[in-house]
Amino acid sequence: MAKFSFLKFIRDQRRKPDPVEHVDLTGKTVVVIGANAGLGFEAAKHFASMNPKRLVLGCRSQEKGQAALQAIQATGFKNAELALVDLARFASVSAFADTFIRENAQIDIFVQNAGILVTRYSASEDGWEESIQVNHLSGMMLILLLLPCLVKAASSGTSPNPRVVIVSSEVHYQTKFSKKEVESDKILQKINDKNYCTLRVILDRYNLSKLLNIFFVRELTKRLPANSPVIVTAVNPGFCKSQLTRNMPLFLRPIGRLMEILLARTAEEGSRNLVWGAVGGAGREFELRGAYVSNANLDEVSDYALSDEGAVVQARIWDESVEILSGVESKVESSLREMLSS
């Protein structure tokens, strides 16, 4: 398969988007994190048109989440509900997951869409650089905690292969971990160090967080039992008009705006890739495990992610992340122990 190049990027952006994949979701539960705007909201609207038993909109803001809920209900779909979750706070992530665990709920489709783009260092109340926490650690925590709910969907018969979709990006091709980061005792602690996060480092942080998404999808799939019903996939929605660009540095905004005018897809067009990752590829379920989806098809990840060094870093990031998250929430370790040994 062709690797990333600017010409390929332009061709992909200009190609006519495939029609949205549509299946019957009757009896199934769909959870979309980051559902109040952009890609997540458009994907949620598509899922609503497929008649799921339950559509959960995971949003950080009550006001914006309620507006998204009302917009979806206005389409005539009444089985949507709002659940608040702030990925910048581990306590909020735990509380969100606890609701499903207490209900002994099943989840057939889980879409982790929420993400942020930063241009300066800012730490969360948990002490992590915000994009590391929001784009990687909290999403990983949610998925690990909710794995039993996904397996329950398989055992109950509603979904032989429940799916987890993590929104990554083609920008993962443009980055890798530096020698200084790899040679540090703890990679995540190194990239979390405020003194290390110069402007140059921070401006690459979004790209790096999307590489972390690729690493997580591939490593989780590698560690799940061979007979696990759960399919975990990374999806590239392409370059879309979204609220992410509002956080660009002032000197980059004119370039970003020009690229949006010339090349950007609409959020609805980009959301079709999320939907394809969640319900598409019938008959190719085995290929979707740990895969990277772009333009409603399977694509190859970066050379760095495929390299020996990338594999070592991927395993280290997994171990470090599990250690961090287990220290925050003991259920992470117990959920992993149950799922990875079953």
Mean pLDDT of 269-293: 96
Residue with tokens 């390299």: 307
User: DSSP readout, 185-246?
Assistant: S-HHHHHH-TTT--HHHHHTHHHHHHHHHHHHHHHHHHHS-TT---EEEEEE--SB--GGGG
Residues in the chain: 342
**Which among 59, 72, 75 is positioned nearest to 111, based on CA atoms?**
59
pLDDT band at residue 324 using 50, 70 and 90 as cut-offs = very high
| Strand, coil or helix: 256 | helix
pTM for this predicted structure? 0.94
- Structural domain boundaries in the chain: 6-15+22-341
d(CA 235, CA 226): 22
Greatest distance between any 2 Cα atoms in the chain:
55
80: CB partners within 8 A, 6+ apart: 44, 48, 55, 56, 57, 69, 72, 73
**pLDDT for 272:** 97
201: pLDDT strictly greater than 90: yes
What is the reported pLDDT for 284?
A: 94
Taking only the tens place, the pLDDT of each residue in 243-268 is 666 666 666 667 667 777 777 889 99
Contact yes or no for 22/50 (Cβ under 8 A): yes
- Mean pLDDT calculated for residue range 284-299: 95
Q: Which residues contact 73 (CB under 8 A, 6 or more apart)?
A: 80
User: Bridge-partner residues for 80, per DSSP?
Assistant: 55
What residues pair up with 265 in beta bridges, in sequence order?
240
Catalytic residues: 169, 206, 210
**Is the Cα dihedral 86, 90, 93, 95 positive or negative?**
negative
Is the pLDDT at 41 greater than 70, yes or no? Answer: yes
Of the listed ranges 15-29, 81-95, 308-322, the least confidently predicted one is: 15-29
Calpha distance 325→330 (Å, rounded)? 8
* Among candidate residues 182, 207, 209, 181, the one with its CA nearest the CA of residue 196: 181
What letter does residue 32 receive in the DSSP assignment? E
Structure tokens at 132: 């590391």
Q: Which DSSP string corresponds to 299-335?
A: E---HHHHSHHHHHHHHHHHHHHHHHHHHH-HHHHHH
For the sheet with 80-84, list strands across it. Answer: 80-84, 54-59, 29-33, 109-112, 163-167, 231-236, 292-294, 298-299
- Report which of 2, 37, 40 is spatially closest to residue 278, judged by C-alpha positions: 40
pLDDT per residue as tens digits for the range 133-154:
999 999 999 999 999 999 999 9
Bridge partner list, 165:
111, 233
CA-to-CA separations, 118 to 133, 206, 249, in angstroms, rounded: 12, 7, 9
**CA distance linking residue 24 with residue 44, whole number of Å:** 14
What is the predicted pLDDT for the residue at 251?
Answer: 60
- Superfamily of domain covering 6-15+22-341: NAD(P)-binding Rossmann-like Domain (3.40.50.720)
- Residue 101, C-beta contacts closer than 8 angstroms, at least 6 positions apart: 145, 146, 148, 149, 331
Which pLDDT score is estimated for 261? 73
**Average pLDDT of the chain to the nearest whole number:** 93
**Do residues 133 and 60 lie in contact, with contact meaning Cβ atoms separated by under 8 Å?**
no
What digits encode the pLDDT tens for the residues 102-126?
A: 998 999 999 999 899 998 999 999 9
- 174 vs 206: CA distance, rounded Å: 11
